[in-house]
C-alpha cells in the first residue's frame, strides 16, 4: 500500500511519500536508543512540563490538524475537532497524574518481615523504546493515548502509522519536537508494513503496542513473542448494544444512532449489534431506523455533515460484501443498504439497519466497519446475553436497563473489556481500556495503561546489622 494522502470524499490523491531508506531507519533507531538513555533519568516535573506544552500547541493547532485528519480519512470536521480536544485532555491528565500512578509501592510490613527483609519497595521503571503500530480511524487519539503515558513513564516512542494518514503522522512527530522533547523521544517512521518485523526484532526496541486488525495483531504478536518482547494489542470489536424492558427507549434509540455512526461507523468500540427485548423491540426499531434515515451524508468538511465517506474504496467494498451477503441470505434492509445516489464521487455508504439476521450470514460473525447496524429481537435476558457473547470479539458492550438485577447479571456475564450502562462506550484517560478474546489483551489509559510498559522492580534489603 503506498504511503499517500488520498481524500476519501473525492478519491483524489493529494500527496505521496517515499518510504524512508534502511539507513534512515537505522539512524532513527539509534536516536531513539540514545534518547531513552537520557529521558528515563529526567524528573516527572520535567516530563510534565514538556507534555503540557505539547497539549498547548495541539490546542492552538486544532483547526488545522482537524482539517488534516478529515482530508486524510474522512471523519466529519466536528468529530475531528473533538478528537483533537480529547487528545489535549489526555495529555494534561497524564501530566497531572503520572507521578502518582507510578509512585513507589510499599508492601505490607508483615510481608516485608516474613521475607526476611528490613525493608522492601516496588519501583516502576520504563522499559525503553516502544514501537507503536497505529490505525487510521482515530489518527491522532490512538497515538496520543499511547504516547502521553509512555513519555511520562520515561519511555520513548517510534510510530509506524497507517499508510493513508502520513500528514497526521508527521504532524505528531513535529508536535512533540516543538514542545521541547529531545531529539529521538518521539519519531515517525514512514515505512510500509513490510518493515515492521525487522524494526521490532531490533535489540534496541523493547516492546510494541498495536491498534488495528486481527491479522495485524497476530503478525506483530508472533514476532514479539519470538523475541520475548512485551505487547499490548487493541484489535477489532463487534460490540453488543442491549435494550431491555426497563430501558428509556427513546433515549436508547437516540444514543444508538450516534453509537453506530460515530467516526462514520469506523470505530472498534462503535455499537454494531443491537439486541432488543421483544417488549420494547417495535418502539426501539421505529425510532432507531428513523434516526438513521435522518442523518446527513456528505462532504466531511461541512459543518452539517453527520456521516462522511469510508476511508478507502476497499473498505467500502468490504462493507458492501457483508451487506449483500446478508440480504442474499434473507436479511431485511430497514434503511440504506446501498451507496447514496446523491454522492457521485468518494467512498460513501448510506446509514443502514439490517434485521432478520441469522448465523448463516457473514455479518453475524464479522466486524462491520462502516455505518451498518444489525438488529436482533430476543425474548429474555438469557437470550440477550448469549447472543451478545456469540462473537469472537470482546472489546466493549452497552446495556440499557433500570433493573438492578439486569445490571448485576450483565456485569457478571458479558464477555467484554467494558460494560457501559445507559450510555454509549467512550474512552477516558482515567479509565482502563481494552478487550478480551480476539479483541486483544493488555490495557491502555489510566494507571493500568501507563504501567503496561514499565518494569515493576522489587527492591529488597536484608536485615539491618
Task: Give the DSSP letter of residue 164.
Answer: T
- Residue 197 CB partners (closer than 8 Å, separation 6+): 219, 223
pLDDT by residue, tens only, the chain of 465 residues: 799 999 999 999 999 999 999 999 999 999 999 999 999 999 999 999 999 999 999 999 999 999 999 999 999 999 999 999 999 999 999 999 999 999 999 999 999 999 999 999 999 999 999 999 999 999 999 999 999 999 999 999 999 999 999 999 999 999 999 999 999 999 999 999 999 999 999 999 999 999 999 999 999 999 999 999 999 999 999 999 999 999 999 999 999 999 999 999 999 999 999 999 999 999 999 999 999 999 999 999 999 999 999 999 999 999 999 999 999 999 999 999 999 988 889 999 999 999 999 999 999 999 999 999 999 999 999 999 999 999 999 999 999 999 999 999 999 999 999 999 999 999 999 999 999 999 999 999 999 999 999 999 999 999 976
Determine the Cα–Cα distance for residues 389 and 193; give it in Å rounded to an integer: 32
- Give one DSSP letter per residue of 205-265, joined into a string: EEEEEEES-HHHHHHHHHHHHHHT-EEEEE----EEEEE-TTS-HHHHHHHHHHHHHGGGG
The pLDDT value given to residue 465: 60
- Residue 5, SS3 per DSSP: strand
Write down the pTM of the prediction.
Answer: 0.97
Determine the Cα–Cα distance for residues 242 and 228; give it in Å rounded to an integer: 40
Q: Name the helix (H) or strand (E) containing 24.
A: helix 22-39
- Residue 438, SS3 per DSSP: coil
Residues designated as active site: 234, 268
Cβ–Cβ under 8 Å, residues 441 and 434: yes
- Residue 210 CB partners (closer than 8 Å, separation 6+): 132, 133, 134, 216, 217, 220, 221, 231, 232, 233, 234, 235
The pLDDT value given to residue 341: 84
- Residue 393, SS3 per DSSP: strand
- Residue 324 CB partners (closer than 8 Å, separation 6+): none
- Give one DSSP letter per residue of 274-300, joined into a string: EEEEHHHHHHHHHHHHHHHHTPPBS-T
Cβ–Cβ under 8 Å, residues 459 and 122: yes
Amino acid at each position: 500500500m503506498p504511503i499517500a494522502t488520498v481524500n476519501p470524499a473525492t478519491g483524489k490523491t493529494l500527496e505521496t511519500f517515499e518510504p524512508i531508506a534502511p539507513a534512515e531507519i537505522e539512524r532513527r533507531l539509534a536516536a531513539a536508543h540514545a534518547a531513552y538513555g537520557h529521558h528515563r533519568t529526567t524528573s516527572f516535573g520535567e516530563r510534565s512540563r514538556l507534555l503540557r506544552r505539547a497539549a498547548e500547541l495541539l490546542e492552538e493547532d486544532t483547526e488545522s490538524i482537524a482539517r488534516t485528519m478529515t482530508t486524510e480519512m474522512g471523519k466529519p470536521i466536528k468529530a475531528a475537532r473533538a478528537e483533537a480536544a480529547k487528545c489535549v485532555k489526555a495529555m494534561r491528565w497524564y501530566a497531572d497524574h503520572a507521578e502518582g500512578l507510578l509512585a513507589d509501592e510499599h508492601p505490607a510490613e508483615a510481608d516485608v518481615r516474613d521475607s526476611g527483609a528490613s525493608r522492601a519497595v516496588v519501583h516502576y521503571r520504563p522499559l525503553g523504546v516502544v514501537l507503536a503500530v497505529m490505525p487510521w480511524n482515530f489518527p491522532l487519539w490512538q497515538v496520543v493515548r499511547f504516547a502521553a503515558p509512555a513519555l511520562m513513564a520515561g519511555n520513548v516512542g517510534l510510530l509506524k502509522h497507517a499508510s493513508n494518514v502520513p500528514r497526521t503522522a508527521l504532524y505528531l512527530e513535529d508536535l512533540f519536537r516543538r514542545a521541547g522533547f529531545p531529539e529521538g523521544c518521539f519519531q515517525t517512521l514512514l515505512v510500509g508494513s513490510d518493515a515492521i518485523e525487522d524494526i521490532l526484532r531490533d535489540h534496541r526496541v523493547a516492546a510494541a503496542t498495536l491498534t488495528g486488525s486481527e491479522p495485524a495483531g497476530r503478525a506483530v504478536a508472533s514476532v514479539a513473542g519470538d523475541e520475548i518482547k512485551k505487547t499490548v494489542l487493541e484489535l477489532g470489536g463487534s460490540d453488543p448494544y442491549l435494550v431491555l424492558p426497563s430501558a428509556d427507549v427513546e433515549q436508547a434509540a437516540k444514543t444508538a444512532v450516534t453509537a453506530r455512526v460515530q467516526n462514520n461507523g469506523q470505530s472498534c468500540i462503535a455499537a454494531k449489534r443491537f439486541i432488543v427485548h421483544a417488549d420494547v423491540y417495535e418502539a426501539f426499531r421505529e425510532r432507531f431506523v428513523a434516526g438513521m434515515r435522518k442523518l446527513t451524508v456528505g462532504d466531511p468538511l461541512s459543518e452539517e455533515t453527520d456521516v462522511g465517506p469510508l476511508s478507502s474504496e476497499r473498505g467500502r467494498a468490504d462493507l458492501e460484501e457483508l451487506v449483500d451477503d446478508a440480504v442474499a441470505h434473507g436479511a431485511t434492509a430497514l434503511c440504506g443498504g446501498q451507496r447514496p445516489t446523491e454522492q457521485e464521487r468518494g467512498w460513501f455508504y448510506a446509514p443502514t439497519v439490517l434485521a432478520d439476521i441469522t448465523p448463516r450470514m457473514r455479518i453475524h460473525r464479522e466486524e462491520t466497519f462502516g455505518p451498518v447496524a444489525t438488529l436482533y429481537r430476543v425474548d429474555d435476558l438469557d437470550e440477550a446475553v448469549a447472543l451478545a457473547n456469540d462473537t469472537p470479539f470482546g472489546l466493549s458492550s452497552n446495556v440499557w436497563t433500570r433493573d438492578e438485577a439486569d445490571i448485576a447479571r450483565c456485569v457478571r456475564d458479558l464477555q467484554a473489556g467494558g460494560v457501559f450502562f445507559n450510555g454509549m462506550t467512550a474512552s477516558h484517560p482515567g479509565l482502563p481500556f481494552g478487550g478480551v478474546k480476539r479483541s486483544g489483551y493488555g490495557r491502555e489509559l489510566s494507571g493500568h495503561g501507563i504501567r503496561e510498559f514499565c518494569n515493576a522492580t522489587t527492591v529488597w534489603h536484608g536485615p539491618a546489622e
